[in-house]
Amino acid sequence: MPLFHCNFFSKILRTTTRVVVSLPSPSSAATAHLSLDEIYPAGQAHQLLYLLHGMNGDETSWLRKTNVERYAQDSGIALVLPFGENSFYTDMAHGLAYFTYLTEELPRFVQANFPVSSRREDTFIAGLSMGGYGACKAALRYPDRYAAFASLSGAVDIEQVAEYSEQFDMSEMMRNTVGSVEACREGENNLFTLAGRLAGSEEQVPSAYLSCGTEDELCIDMNRRLRDCFERNNLPLTYVERPGGHEWGLWDEQIQQVLAWLPR
């Protein structure tokens, strides 16, 4: 797969940022039997998956620690892997507007520069841990833009994460990200609130895939609560638990399942 490491100035972030884009292509062996027109067809528009890293990661984490590039090649899907800092992909209380960047500017940059589809039915978003939260938030806030979304071991209860931050010497970082614990209980950063709001609307609802390791002490309970919330609100959901903790071995296995599950 062609792999592009992009640096560009973001109007929303008001700084230079980074994104990696991986495009499906014929294998080196297959090109021996194809013409240049077949290798580089005009007007091609790939399905695409925005794939978000977790806390303390970056745009290379998925590529360095899993075989997702190979899995995406087999699935014929483009990958878009942005850098999201430790922002929880929010418009930070004291920091940069990563949610607006992720949902407004990044898709325009990608569509303007790469042969990818702009159709909702071809657009998906997923992530792990912090990125799982970001993927859920993007899809629940803008269900008209994504056909499906997936969270792997997602930190899906932002209020609980803010409370936990006191125990892990991250309280200042979380205050800069989402403000106070009280501010997380309702509104645009609370996935449970967003799910209930979506269920009561006339919006087309994207399909959801939630998974978590049964030994993931931080995230398993909050994922079960989000599962229950989706079920109460009759939102389309595939829910998976597997033995394992908060670890790359589990995420490498689960991203294969997500790619197989995505609608084609």
Q: What is the DSSP secondary structure assignment for residue 202, as one 8-state letter?
A: S
In sign, the C-alpha dihedral spanning 131, 70, 260, 242 is negative
What pLDDT does 118 receive?
95
Q: Tokens 């899995």 appear where?
A: 71
Collapsed DSSP state (helix, strand, coil) of residue 172: helix
Q: Where are the domains of the chain?
A: 3-261
What pLDDT does 259 receive?
98
pLDDT at residue 4 is higher than 80: yes
**If you average pLDDT over residues 178-184, what whole number do you get?**
74
User: Residues 147, 206: contact at Cβ < 8 Å?
Assistant: yes
Q: What is the strand order of the sheet 148-152 is part of? A: 3-10, 15-22, 78-82, 48-52, 123-128, 148-152, 207-213, 237-242
**If you average pLDDT over residues 219-241, what whole number do you get?**
97
Structure confidence at residue 246 as a pLDDT band (50, 70, 90):
very high
What pLDDT does 40 receive?
87
Predicted TM-score (pTM) of the model is 0.95
The H-assigned helical ranges of the chain are 28-31, 36-39, 61-65, 68-75, 98-100, 106-113, 130-141, 158-164, 171-178, 191-199, 220-232, 248-261
Token pair recorded at residue 77: 């899907």
How many separate helices (H) and strands (E) can be counted in the chain?
Answer: 12, 8
pLDDT at residue 256 is higher than 80: yes
Architecture of domain 3-261: 3-Layer(aba) Sandwich (3.40)
User: Residues 174, 163: contact at Cβ < 8 Å?
Assistant: no
Structure confidence at residue 43 as a pLDDT band (50, 70, 90):
confident
What percent of the chain stands above pLDDT 90?
Answer: 79
The rounded distance, in Å, linking the Cα atoms of 214 and 82 is: 28
Summarize pLDDT for 101-110 with one digit per residue, the tens.
Answer: 999 999 999 9
**If you average pLDDT over residues 36-55, what whole number do you get?**
93
pLDDT at residue 170 is higher than 80: no
Residues ≥6 apart with Cβ < 8 Å to 237: 207, 208, 209, 210, 227, 230, 231
Structure confidence at residue 260 as a pLDDT band (50, 70, 90):
very high
Structure confidence at residue 186 as a pLDDT band (50, 70, 90):
confident
